[in-house]
Amino acid sequence: MNNSELSALLKDMSLDEKIEQLIQLHGGFFGEVGTITGPAAEFKMTGDQPYRTGSVLGEAGAKRLRELQDKMTAAQPHHIPALFMADVIHGYKTAFPVPIAIGSSFNTELAEKIAEAAAKECSAAGVHVTFSPMVDVSRDARWGRCMESPGEDPYLNSEMAKAEVKGFQGDDVKKPGRVAACAKHFAAYGAPVAGRDYNVTEISEHTLYEDYLKPYRAAVEAGVKLVMTAFNTIDRKPCTTNKRLLRGILRDDMGFDGVVISDYNAVGETVIHGSSYDKRDAAVKALSAGCDIDMMSDCYLSGLRAAVQSGELDESLIDEAVMRVLKLKNDLGLFENPYKDGSEEAEREIIFSKEIQELGRKAAVETAVLLKNNGVLPLSISQKIAVVGELCDSPMIVGSWSIFADRSRTVTLKKALETLCPECDIKFFPSDNADEASEYAKGCDAVIVCVGENEEHTGESMSKADISLSEAHNRLVEAVSGVNKNVVTLVFGGRPLGIARADSLSAAVLEVWLPGTVGCLGIADILFGRENPSGRLSMSLPYCSGQLPITYAMYKTGRPKPENTGFIRYMSNYMDVPNRPLYSFGQGLGYSEIEYSAVRLDKDVIGRGESARASVTLKNLGERDQLEAVQLYIRDEKSSVVRPTRELKGFKKVLVPAGGEVEVGFIITERELEFYGEDMRLCAEPGDFKVFVTRDSLGENCATLRLEGG
């Protein structure tokens, strides 16, 4: 349809029809047509009204969705097709490593491929829109949803956001295998006070713009089709009724012209927040603020008609929102083909294809982070090995938002090792009983200890006040390390955990996150040296919860304590732990050592509109090819507002062949130097900048670049 056809359609729709387009219900509303029970009855819906609504949440499966679409288009007076939206966060039937792990790959091409594979699988199952990518910057491991985000850094999250939007949507979302993406949760959902999910945020204007808004802006620039509002408040206003946020920042400033959808019952929850008087007030506020679709509250359903009739709400606002929904349906080609790619044949052909499984295995290799290795890794198949801990044979390592993943296909670490190393002398003890585990560990050449959290301990609403490894897991590592000095600790989980004790007792530590359906095959590849790990931490691992929130990009204080000294009174530091985390953002090892040359700048001074190139030569001192995540950080030495000690401004993952050398360069323009100034405008101020090209956020390899000009 062209725009005038869409306008004609809109003009012909009744007010009720239009409001119904703005309502999203979950699958439980769709029983027998005409029999209203359960949730539909609670929403006081009548007749076939659920079938006339504009979109459905959380349903997938080609057969089911084709049938549902037939009923919905038949019920809708203008036969407007419904949109099927679902949470396909890091895979559909095949789960890939969780997003915090994907962030740790520092590989945007990989992130794009994963999104593309997820889109292929779920679009074959009839899904049109995925509620992904989640791009919230998260610096607080107490917040269970940090699992769903690429990490702590605005730049990394922005690059991942762009890659994923591209991977889901391609260059034309109508094309086969593509789904519309939805960036969430707008805004700053990753900064709940005290790490408690759904809690309020308290962030300054500078922090909001400088740290939290950037990844959403990147997603908008990449053409994301939808944006989801967040549950939290910003500056005391719930995001879903926050006009300044949705119309001012998202639409006017960022130029977003797609669909804004609320989070689940977020419109209704503004009544519970106490900032809307009742459902009708909530509906008026949310729609006026710019929220087009009401996901799973009955506010729009019960409130909008009366608000228009009383003159409280201008119908043109409803028209505007409906038009955006119709445009999205049109962009997806649903008026011509309401099922899009959904077919049972496509499901059979695409889901669990060999190509997708191989990607899942490779993804685990690039997302696992080797934090420590005294040489015990890689293991050799001639060694006698024990593998202990319940997590070594747990299928609960897929991720809590992998709601469609087929758990029967989960390859546990035990299964992976048995499949890949049948000739190896490996004993498994899939239990956390420390005393018995140490019996297994005795007399082995090395022992792999699986600790951390399974998927039920991270994710939405799974906040923790204490992120330490459990007592049982600390005891397990202690007991095993008492009888075997070659302890390889594998840390599972969706958040940075407090592993300081286990780390000090281990010869090697590998952060494997929640690796997904077949990820343990990749982990086994790493353990036995068939693959070389190349992940880098996308979130810093603190010593303890008291350091949270934490990031490498801490703001400069007036009383900085020199690194590597003990506690100094009247300086900004802790008495009991260092300021730095146990492992900082960007850290991670491979099996080959990579030597960095000093940073070279092609110019020491640039003027306005000019650029400089910073480069290093990497030399692989090892015997294996190594994928290296080279990181560019910049520190603004003096500025009108206080700036972080350094900020990530670029990264490249490059292959450095064994014994070989590779040159890596980054272009630095004013864009890399700018920040929000005193007047909240983006500016780059003249002066000196330290340019670091390093292996991680701690590296000191740098040169000074001067920006000149007024």
Would you name the residues annotated as active-site residues? 263
CB nearer ligand NOJ, residue 264 or residue 583:
264
Give CA–CA dist 480/470, Å, rounded: 16
Q: Are 594 and 626 in contact (CB under 8 A)?
A: yes
3-state helix, strand, coil in the chain (%, to 5): 35, 20, 45
Number of helices and strands in the chain (H, E): 23, 27
Kindly identify the residues of this chain, within the stretch 5-44, that bind ligand NOJ according to CB under 6 A.
none
Kindly identify the residues of this chain, within the stretch 296-335, that bind ligand NOJ according to CB under 6 A.
none
Q: Smallest gap, in angstroms, from Cβ of residue 491 to ligand NOJ?
A: 25
Degrees, nearest 5: CA angle 533-538-541: 95
- The answer to whether residue 131 forms part of the interface with ligand NOJ (CB under 6 A) is yes
Interface pattern 640-679 for ligand NOJ (x via CB under 6 A): ----------------------------------------
Out of 59, 112, 164, 263, which residue is the one contacting ligand NOJ (CB under 6 A)? 263
Element (H, E) at 169: helix 154-169
Amino acid making up residue 611: S
- Tallying the residues shown for the chain, one arrives at 710
CB nearer ligand NOJ, residue 229 or residue 438:
229
Q: Smallest gap, in angstroms, from Cβ of residue 367 to ligand NOJ?
A: 21
Kindly identify the residues of this chain, within the stretch 338-357, that bind ligand NOJ according to CB under 6 A.
none
Phi, psi of 623 (to 5 degrees): -105, 5
Take residue 464 and report the two structure tokens written for it: 């923790």
Phi, psi of 356 (to 5 degrees): -70, -40
Kindly identify the residues of this chain, within the stretch 537-556, that bind ligand NOJ according to CB under 6 A.
none
Strand partners, 676: 682
Give CA–CA dist 393/23, Å, rounded: 43
CB nearer ligand NOJ, residue 263 or residue 511:
263
Q: Smallest gap, in angstroms, from Cβ of residue 263 to ligand NOJ?
A: 5
Q: CA–CA distance from 185 to each of 131, 213, 240, 460 (Å)? A: 10, 11, 10, 12
Interface pattern 604-643 for ligand NOJ (x via CB under 6 A): ----------------------------------------
Q: Smallest gap, in angstroms, from Cβ of residue 532 to ligand NOJ?
A: 34
Q: CA–CA distance from 675 to each of 558, 585, 679, 689 (Å)? A: 20, 21, 11, 13
Give CA–CA dist 77/79, Å, rounded: 6
Q: Identify the residue whose tokens are 């407090």.
A: 498
Q: Smallest gap, in angstroms, from Cβ of residue 293 to ligand NOJ?
A: 12
CB nearer ligand NOJ, residue 99 or residue 493:
99
Count residues binding ligand NOJ (CB under 6 A): 8
Interface pattern 441-470 for ligand NOJ (x via CB under 6 A): -------------------x----------
Take residue 47 and report the two structure tokens written for it: 């007749």
- The answer to whether residue 184 forms part of the interface with ligand NOJ (CB under 6 A) is yes
Does residue 359 come out as left (phi exceeding 0), alpha (psi in the -120 to 50 range) or beta?
A: alpha
CB nearer ligand NOJ, residue 263 or residue 393:
263
Take residue 38 and report the two structure tokens written for it: 């359960």
Degrees, nearest 5: CA angle 323-178-144: 90
Q: Smallest gap, in angstroms, from Cβ of residue 58 to ligand NOJ?
A: 6
Give CA–CA dist 26/24, Å, rounded: 7
CB nearer ligand NOJ, residue 58 or residue 91:
58
Q: Are 623 and 654 in contact (CB under 8 A)?
A: no
Contacts of 13-19 with CB under 8 Å at 24 or more apart are: 13/77, 13/78, 13/322, 14/77, 15/305, 15/308, 15/315, 15/318, 16/305, 17/52, 17/76, 17/77, 17/78, 18/318, 18/319, 18/322, 19/300, 19/301, 19/304, 19/305, 19/318
Kindly identify the residues of this chain, within the stretch 78-117, that bind ligand NOJ according to CB under 6 A.
87
CB nearer ligand NOJ, residue 130 or residue 412:
130
Q: Smallest gap, in angstroms, from Cβ of residue 440 to ligand NOJ?
A: 41
CB nearer ligand NOJ, residue 188 or residue 612:
188
- The answer to whether residue 136 forms part of the interface with ligand NOJ (CB under 6 A) is no
CB nearer ligand NOJ, residue 473 or residue 495:
495
Degrees, nearest 5: CA angle 209-215-216: 85
Rounded CA Rg of the chain: 26
Q: Smallest gap, in angstroms, from Cβ of residue 57 to ligand NOJ?
A: 6
Q: Smallest gap, in angstroms, from Cβ of residue 62 to ligand NOJ?
A: 20
Q: Which residue is nearest to ligand NOJ (CB)?
A: 131
Residues that bind ligand NOJ (CB under 6 A): 57-58, 87, 131, 184, 263-264, 460
